Amino acid sequence: MFTLHPVLEKDTIKLGEFPLCHALLMNDANYPWFVLVPKRHNIREIFQLKETDQAQLVKESSHLSQQLFEYFNADKLNIAALGNIVPQLHIHHIVRYTSDPAWPAPVWGRLPPLPYAENKLNELLEKLKPCLANKIEWDI
C-alpha cells in the first residue's frame, strides 16, 4: 500500500494527482521546484516500475515539464531521480534561470530551503491551477 514518504510529506505542498504520480511543490521559494512521486509501493528506481508505468511516468513528466517551461518562461529544466537520502522514488522537476542563485550548478546542497510566505504560495497555486488542471486531479 502506497503512502508518501514522511520527508516528502514534510518538505512539499501537495498539488494534485496524475493517474500515476502525486504532483508536489517543494516548499522552497528559491526555485520553482516540483516533484512527481509514482503511487507505487516499495519502488526506488525507475526501472523497477512496470513498463506501462514507466511509459506513463514519462508522459506525466513531459506534460508537467512543458507546462512549467512555458508558464515560468524557464531557461532550462533540471529533471532528476536521485533518492540517495529519501528512498521512495521521486522525480525532481526544477525550473532554472541563468539568473537563479545556484546557476549553472545543480540546486542540491547550495542554499537552505526558503519556505514560501503564505500569500506568495496562495498566489502561485492560484496561477498554477489552470495550467495543470487539465491533466491532474487537483487537491487544493
Q: How far apart are the C-alpha atoms of 7 and 58, rounded to whole Å?
A: 24
* End-to-end CA gap in the chain: 23
Q: Does 79 bind a copy of itself (CB under 8 A)?
A: yes
Q: How far apart are the C-alpha atoms of 16 and 21, rounded to whole Å?
A: 9
Would you give the binding string for a copy of itself spanning residues 15-34, x where CB under 8 A is met? --------------------
**Is the Cβ of residue 4 or residue 106 nearer to a copy of itself in the bound state?**
106
Name the minimum Å distance from CB 73 to a copy of itself. Answer: 14
Q: Does 50 bind a copy of itself (CB under 8 A)?
A: no
3-state SS class at 46:
helix
Q: Does 112 bind a copy of itself (CB under 8 A)?
A: no
**Is the Cβ of residue 121 or residue 131 nearer to a copy of itself in the bound state?**
131
Residue from 96, 128, 132, 136 binding a copy of itself (CB under 8 A): 96
Residue from 5, 27, 71, 78 binding a copy of itself (CB under 8 A): 78
Q: Does 111 bind a copy of itself (CB under 8 A)?
A: no
Torsion angle of alpha carbons 31, 64, 135, 17, nearest 10°?
-60
- Copy the grid coordinates of residue 11: 518538505
Query: Which residues touch 35 (CB under 8 Å, ≥6 apart)?
Result: 8, 12, 23, 24, 25, 26, 90, 91, 92, 93
* Residues near a copy of itself (CB under 8 A): 44-47, 51, 54-55, 57-59, 61-63, 65-66, 69, 76-85, 96, 103-106, 108-109
